[in-house]
Amino acid sequence: MPEFQQNIVDDLASATTESWRTFRIMAEMVNALDELNALKVNCISIFGSARSQPGSQEYQDAEKLAGLLAHAGYGVITGGGPGVMEAANKGAKEAGGVSVGLHIKLPHEQGCNPYVTTRCNFRYFFIRKFMFVKYARAYVVMPGGMGTIDELSEAFVLAQTGRTRPFPIILYDSRFWSGLLEWLRKSMAAGGFISEEELDQLLTVCDTPEEVVNHLRKIVIL
């Protein structure tokens, strides 16, 4: 086959593949909505590092926090992976609460942790992110890496621009987040790229699981 004809065939095949991908996206969205619409409890999304070990402070705090949230009547949503996510699912499950895992398929990540009682599997990050926002009444952001920063910044922008209903974003561990908050105030806010009021209104810093739950009880209705 001449090269120009092969190029046309390749382009058509690529276009067809892209078109059919929309049906996979739709199916993934519908499956997740059906699964999560069945939840009859207000949920809190907890984010944090997949690399945290069971003996670490953030792992222990996430487990305790999720247990307290479950006892208070909230469900817990995580990414379903290891580390902080596993700790939060473990705390919620062992307290008899709703323990949701929104598990993404990644080539080098571990599988879903065993403490998830309601599981949704995702191929596409953007659908998974949508579910975190749609079914969460608040975000608790534990210490973590770039994936955690990604979830934090996206939630902040959605709330900042009014593209989602207002919901609290709690940064856990002031020592961990202090550098970022200082930079946001001294660089971004001082430069006029963001306002101090937006930071104060959208972000809250807590240092203990009890402090988080007490704060949420005041602003998130069961």
3-state secondary structure of 178: helix
What sign results for the dihedral spanned by CA atoms 83, 100, 154, 220? Answer: negative
Residues 140-158, mean pLDDT to the nearest whole number: 95
Tokens of 118: 């309601």
Tens-digit pLDDT profile for residues 75-115: 999 999 999 999 999 999 999 999 999 999 877 666 899 99
pLDDT of residue 218: 85
Tokens of 216: 């949420």
Q: Which CATH class is domain 40-219?
A: alpha beta
Give the C-alpha separation, 57 to 122, whole Å: 29
Residue 210 backbone phi and psi in degrees, to 5? -65, -40
Residues 48-76, mean pLDDT to the nearest whole number: 96
pLDDT of residue 221: 60
Residues 158-163, mean pLDDT to the nearest whole number: 89
Residues 168-183, mean pLDDT to the nearest whole number: 97
